[in-house]
Amino acid sequence: MAPRAGKGGGAGRKPHDRSTSNRPGILFVFMVVMLVLVAGRLTWMQVVQAKALSATAGQQRLRDLTLPARRGSIFDREGQPLAVTTDAKTVYAVPAQVKDATATASSLAQVLGGDRRQYLARLQRNSSFVYIARKVDLPRAAALEKLGIEGIGFVDDSRRTYPSGHLAGQVLGFVGVDDVGLAGIEKQYDSALAGTDGRIVAERDPKGHLIPGSIVTAQDAVDGQDIYLTIDKDIQNKAELELAAAVKKFGAKGGSVVVLDPSNGEILAMASTPYLDPNSYGSASADSMRNKAITDTYEPGSTMKAMTAAAVIDKGLFTPDSMFRLPPTLRIGGRTIHEAHARGTVNYSLTQIVTKSSNIGAVKLGQALGKTALSDYMDRFRLSRKTGVDFPGEASGWRPPTSSWSASSMGNLPFGQGLSVTPLQLARSVSVIANGGTLVTPHFLSRQGSVPATFPASPVPVITKATAIATTRMLTDVVRDGTGTGAAVSQYEVAGKTGTAQKARPDGVGYMKGVYVASFIGFLPASAPRVLILVTIDSPKSGLFGGTVAAPAFAHLARFCVDHLKIAPAPSVGPISTKRTASSQVGNEAASGKR
């Protein structure tokens, strides 16, 4: 039987579909390629990029936090706080978690103060963390936290505060937002006050919160040390009050006060106007930030005569009762020297030259010394030289090099023109006379923690003790019946010297007409000084002379000091020997023009 057509016969079979038959092979090849790629990628990630990826994962999972050290406090000599660290909060935001940025910004401005628009700009940043406010006081931080705003967080912090406001503001200085000392004592002793920050590394959840028990690394912070200054808070306050009153009374541009113990250089008070409140230093003027007693210089004027007189006595040229014939004016080096008050020819003793503050007499003393000796004694007294005080930014004074002195230099340097000093430099120089002839180092630090401060223990000899006593006796006459009677303190013998110095022009050429610095420097009790005070009043509009402008402020402050420190009156310095040496007589003849 013939087979049926189309069934089983070759003539009726459909052609073979190659594309369909190759699909399994193509799929297999594709899968092999993909497996190779995945294996290669895994190998690349697990071998080549393993360290980098592990670090990235760690950064996403771990949080590295700084544990700030608590800054040490600053106290006065009696343990009264001048600068302290108080608890505070830092407010931050996680912008992605803030639901309503506009409303949140308004709430921040209402509680913290500040500009709502600035808060809004921070909340809209493309960042996982932004600071909102640093060092917020606890009451305001608590008020904000009570609102429960999502996306706003708080971190424990601390803030520097100055309990007495502007008291000793320029001395203390201030710290920046990161608690780094930027000025004054805060800067000088920053390394001791700052301490050492700690560190903690721990895991966090997706919302940024630390996971309890997940600490990887922890290092405790080491708090800063407390320091104690030589400053006496009560004397500092009185100094600021008296200085402000004098500046206001005489319409002055400003002024400064230095109070120190001349026996050891301890600074009991230092003030400059305008005052600075370190709590709000960001809005303070540049002028108020300067501690002018250390950073600003001026010509000392007649206060310099105390050192000139001490030099001629120490050199053996004259005694306090040596006599000088002084003309009304003196022509020297092309200049005519005048007295502050016109007079005729007079015969003055060395003591009278000092007590009456004679410019011509001081020039005679300088001529008797000669250029070399005068320069040598200025160096001994460290006039125009840095004191080495423990305070940043101390200025150097200026004095012309001895090699460049001209005849006119001898006509102004002996009475305090043609050189410049800082108030502290002058105070240190006069302390040589007060303490019996030695140079001390002014300083602020009393102790650091429990360790007493160490400054040069062996004062440098400058003049003999006999010279210091003789000069002190002359300076008591200045206050008793000379130009400084306004500095007298009842029941106490005061030694001091007035100064009325012309102010140099800003360009350094000549002097400003009718513009002066009035000053008075003195110490008491004269025979056993415990306190030395310098008052300088810059550019008084009414009044002019140191004896009328600065001396009364000295007297008020000195009276407070002896009462506060319980300093008893001391015996008089005693009479000065009137015996003249041969060299003093020769010097007298030279000074009076006899040779």
Catalytic entry in 164, 256, 272, 302:
302
Give me 476's structure tokens.
């008591």
User: Known catalytic residue: 429?
Assistant: no
Count of alpha carbons within 13 Å of 380, Cβ hemisphere only? Answer: 20
Single-letter residue type at 355: T
Radius of gyration of the chain (CA): 39
What does the buried/exposed string (b/e) look like for 305-338 if buried means 16 or more CB atoms within 10 Å of the residue's CB?
bbbbbbbbbbbebbbbbbbbebeeebebeeeebe
Contacts of 487 (CB under 8 A, 6+ apart): 479, 494, 496, 520, 522, 547, 551, 552, 554, 555, 558
Instruction: Return the closest-CA partner of residue 389 out of 199, 127, 185.
Output: 185
Tell me how far CA of residue 311 lies from CA of 65, 77, 130, in angstroms: 63, 35, 66
Give the whole-angstrom CA distance, residue 562 versus residue 456.
27
For 434, other C-beta atoms within 10 Å of its C-beta total: 28
Tell me how far CA of residue 238 lies from CA of 271, 437, 508, 561, 568, in angstroms: 10, 29, 35, 9, 20
How far the first Cα of the chain sits from its last, in Å, is 172
Instruction: Return the closest-CA partner of residue 344 out of 334, 323, 358.
Output: 358
Three-class DSSP category at 77: coil
Give the whole-angstrom CA distance, residue 500 versus residue 335.
19
Torsion of CA 430, 434, 437, 441, to 10 degrees: -60
Catalytic residues: 302
